């Protein structure tokens, strides 16, 4: 059963990112968004957030932020995208 993948739009509004994204051609923007969709689908079914072979195109690695207690991973795209994903273990309140 696939896990839930939630997207935070917080950084979509970051000025430098928006400017860099707008400077891409329409087809390049579509390619980046399609790649983001592919990553989201791969994360939903992957066995491990770094070692799963289906995630290799995004060169996954651990990502550390002080005082953040969830496991974070970075996935690299072509400019200007970079995705940081947090994996949250299931709880009785939210088992998925």
End-to-end CA distance of the chain: 9
CB atoms within 10 A of CB 77: 16
User: Tens digits of per-residue pLDDT, 67-80?
Assistant: 888 888 999 988 87
Of 74, 5, 52, 39, the residue nearest 31 (C-alpha)? 39
User: Tens digits of per-residue pLDDT, 16-74?
Assistant: 888 998 999 999 999 999 998 999 999 989 988 899 999 999 999 988 888 888 888 99
pTM above 0.85, yes or no: no
Q: How many whole angstroms separate alpha carbon 88 and alpha carbon 66?
A: 17
């Amino acid at each position: 059963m696939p896990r839930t993948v939630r997207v935070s739009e917080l950084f979509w509004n970051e000025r430098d990112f928006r400017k860099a994204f707008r400077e891409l051609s329409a087809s390049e923007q579509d390619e980046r968004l399609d790649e983001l969709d592919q990553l989201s689908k791969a994360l939903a079914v992957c066995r491990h957030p770094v070692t799963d072979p289906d995630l290799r195109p995004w060169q996954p690695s651990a990502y550390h932020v002080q005082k953040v207690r969830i496991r974070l991973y970075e996935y690299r795209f072509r400019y200007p995208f970079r995705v940081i994903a947090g994996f949250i273990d299931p709880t009785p309140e939210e088992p998925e």
